[in-house]
């Protein structure tokens, strides 16, 4: 078994090379930022 065939049989873990919906990631990230900002202001921490 060569090194290439050994690494090709490993399952993908969704690392940096993972193909996914980039727009959805950005929207969810900004949504999390807005929700966190709303929580901080509602609790009076700012």
- Three-class HEC string of 3-43: HHHHHHCCCCCCCCCCCCCHHHHHHHHHHHHHHHHHHHHHH
Contacts of 12 (CB under 8 A, 6+ apart): 18
How far is residue 34's CA from residue 4's CA, in Å, rounded to a whole number?
Answer: 44
Entry pTM: 0.54
Give me the pLDDT at residue 14, please: 64
Tokens of 28: 């969810």
pLDDT by position in tens, the chain (length 46): 565 655 567 776 766 665 667 888 999 999 999 999 999 999 998 7
DSSP 44: T
Q: What is the pLDDT of residue 36?
A: 96
Q: What is the structure's pLDDT at 39?
A: 95
DSSP state of 45: -
């Amino acid at each position: 078994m060569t090194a290439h065939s050994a690494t090709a049989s490993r399952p993908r873990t969704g690392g940096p090379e993972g193909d996914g919906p980039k727009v959805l990631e950005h929207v969810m990230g900004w949504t999390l930022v807005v929700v966190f900002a709303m929580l901080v202001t509602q609790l009076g921490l700012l």
